[in-house]
Amino acid sequence: MAAVFDLDLETEEGSEGEGEPEFSPADACPLAESRAAGLEPVGHYEEVELTETSVNPGPERIGPHCFELLRVLGKGNYGKVFQVRKVQGTNLGKIYAMKVLRKAKIVRNAKDTAHTRAERNILESVKHPFIVELAYAFQTGGKLYLILECLSGGELFTRLEREGIFLEDTACFYLSEITLALGHLHSQGIIYRDLKPENVMLSSQGHIKLTDFGLCKESIHEGTVTHTFCGTIEYMAPEILVRSGHNRAVDWWSLGALMYDMLTGSPPFTAENRKKTMDKIIRGKLVLPPYLTPDARDLVKKFLKRNPSQRIGGGPGDAADVQKHPFFRHINWEDLLARRVDPPFRPCLQSEEDVSQFDTHFTRQTPVDSPDDTALSESANQAFLGFTYVAPSVLDSIKEGFSFQPKLRSPRRLNSSPRTPVSRAAYWAPDLTA
């Protein structure tokens, strides 16, 4: 694991009477030897003080002081997400998103602590064109900091809110990129478990990036199941709701629910409260609007099979089976992965700092990282050992880093269908909401 290491330069003193010769500066420095003999060097020379910085510049020491707060992008019970500018060290002036979590809130629940560590580890280990990149991770006495690439295109949620519904070609593009991202996670034994428009961000070029890995589960390979009851209700697979054990097939159900949402303006199963929504997911009839093409109808039906073994993507082929469906017949998957396919929407941004694609409820707030005055016990802090991280790309440039109760989804203003009311998730950190 790449990390920031602090190197202490210490001089080891020898014991008296061991017969070691007395050290003279002239022994190690030809310049000092010349001066001792009364000679001065000819020509220009520069004296350099030997310090930790000059001898071993090494990885920079990253902390909150390295970043200037620009805007609030999201906010929740566990902390905030800021747009920030790097003002010290490598990548000076670069814009990032800084996700700040309060340790005291996290350590109250063992699952919150475990999932926070899992999110940090997944962000370090998973590198993919359609998954958000982690640049740095560090901590103070009372807070955890994740420095992520700033995805200035905003949430897919916002695009859907503004458009109402997507044309099938537009939906196909986004679903294709998400399919590749989910397939990569699954190949690493990771299930995502919280796919929804709020957790799909757009880059400045309009490509998707999955964010918020707080509900992911690691080490789920073929034949393995897990039983945690988590997710966002409207997108949760029935096997999670009935607690029968679930695997990576739950992500394909969620992708089906997201596809339905893109093409119709709401998820397939919604009601006025949590219980009724869950009942519909478990036993309700899937109603498809008549304007969907046959390929779109067929794919939605195959995603939303209640039996996970019959669900498209639920077998050993995983994402490869999804990619073969006729709905994606016009997709060149190699070009898509290389981001050579033009997105259907490119955000209109005036500068790197433009936050016009984010909710003004947050961006108009004064960005303040509240004082870190919480003192955690030594045992509590042990849970966050190894959190510090610097991305390999940053290291290379130096050489030349919850509540897990199911969430209810927020209604979109343009959608008149009944939806469970709840405050919307913040930026790419909905795990910050209680």
Per the DSSP assignment, residues forming a β-bridge with 134 are 148
In three-state secondary structure terms, 144 is strand
In this prediction the pTM is: 0.77
pLDDT digits (tens, 9 = 90+) for 274-308: 999 999 999 999 999 999 999 999 999 999 999 99
Give the pLDDT confidence score for residue 420 in this predicted structure.
39
Count of C-beta atoms within a 10 Å radius of residue 331? 18
pLDDT digits (tens, 9 = 90+) for 109-137: 777 787 788 888 899 989 999 999 999 99
Tokens found for residue 402:
């919850």
Give the pLDDT confidence score for residue 89 in this predicted structure.
87
Q: For residue 214, which of 368, 389, 79 has the smallest C-alpha distance?
A: 79
d(CA 39, CA 63): 47
| Exposed / middle / buried, residue 405 (Cβ in 10 Å: 0-12, 13-18, 19+) | exposed
In three-state secondary structure terms, 275 is helix
DSSP 299: H
Per the DSSP assignment, residues forming a β-bridge with 333 are none
**Residue 382: C-alpha distances to residues 139, 312, 379 (Å):** 12, 42, 5
Fold agreement between 64-151+352-432 and 156-337: no
**Which residues are documented as binding site?**
73-81, 99
Task: Please state, rounded to an integer, the average pLDDT across all residues of the chain.
Answer: 81
User: Where does 64-151+352-432 sit in CATH, by number?
Assistant: 3.30.200.20
In three-state secondary structure terms, 390 is strand
Q: In this structure, are residues 356 and 28 in contact, taking their beta carbons and an 8 Å threshold?
A: no
**Which residues are documented as binding site for ATP?**
73-81, 99
Q: In this structure, are residues 84 and 96 in contact, taking their beta carbons and an 8 Å threshold?
A: yes
Q: For residue 202, which of 249, 227, 170, 246 has the smallest C-alpha distance?
A: 170
d(CA 298, CA 254): 16
Give the pLDDT confidence score for residue 391 in this predicted structure.
76
Extract the runs of DSSP E, i.e. beta strands, from 12-124.
Answer: 67-75, 79-86, 95-102
Strand ranges of the sheet holding 67-75, from the earlier edge strand across to the other edge: 67-75, 79-86, 95-102, 143-149, 134-139, 389-390
Find the helix or strand (DSSP H, E) in which 321 lies: helix 319-323
Chain centre to alpha carbon of residue 384:
18
Give the pLDDT confidence score for residue 222 in this predicted structure.
80
What phi, psi does 419 have (nearest 5°)? -145, 145
DSSP 413: T
For the CA atoms of 370, 376, 382, 385, the dihedral, rounded to the nearest 10 degrees, stands at: 20
pLDDT lower than 50: segments of the chain: 1-28, 31, 51-57, 395, 397-404, 413-434
Domain ranges for the chain, please list them. Answer: 64-151+352-432, 156-337
Give the pLDDT confidence score for residue 374 in this predicted structure.
66
d(CA 245, CA 227): 5
Q: In this structure, are residues 81 and 72 in contact, taking their beta carbons and an 8 Å threshold?
A: yes
Buried residues in 266-281 as b, exposed as e (16+ CB within 10 A): bbbbbbeeeeebbebb
pLDDT digits (tens, 9 = 90+) for 371-418: 776 667 676 777 777 777 787 655 454 444 333 456 565 555 444 443
Query: Which residues are annotated as catalytic?
Result: 194
Find the helix or strand (DSSP H, E) in which 156 lies: helix 156-163
* DSSP codes of every residue in 417-434: S-----PPPPTT-GGG--
Q: At which residue do the structure tokens 């070009």 appear?
A: 335
Its CATH architecture, for the domain 156-337, is Orthogonal Bundle (1.10)
What phi, psi does 36 have (nearest 5°)? -60, -30
What phi, psi does 253 have (nearest 5°)? -60, -50
Give the pLDDT confidence score for residue 175 in this predicted structure.
98
Count of C-beta atoms within a 10 Å radius of residue 207? 21
Count of C-beta atoms within a 10 Å radius of residue 181? 24
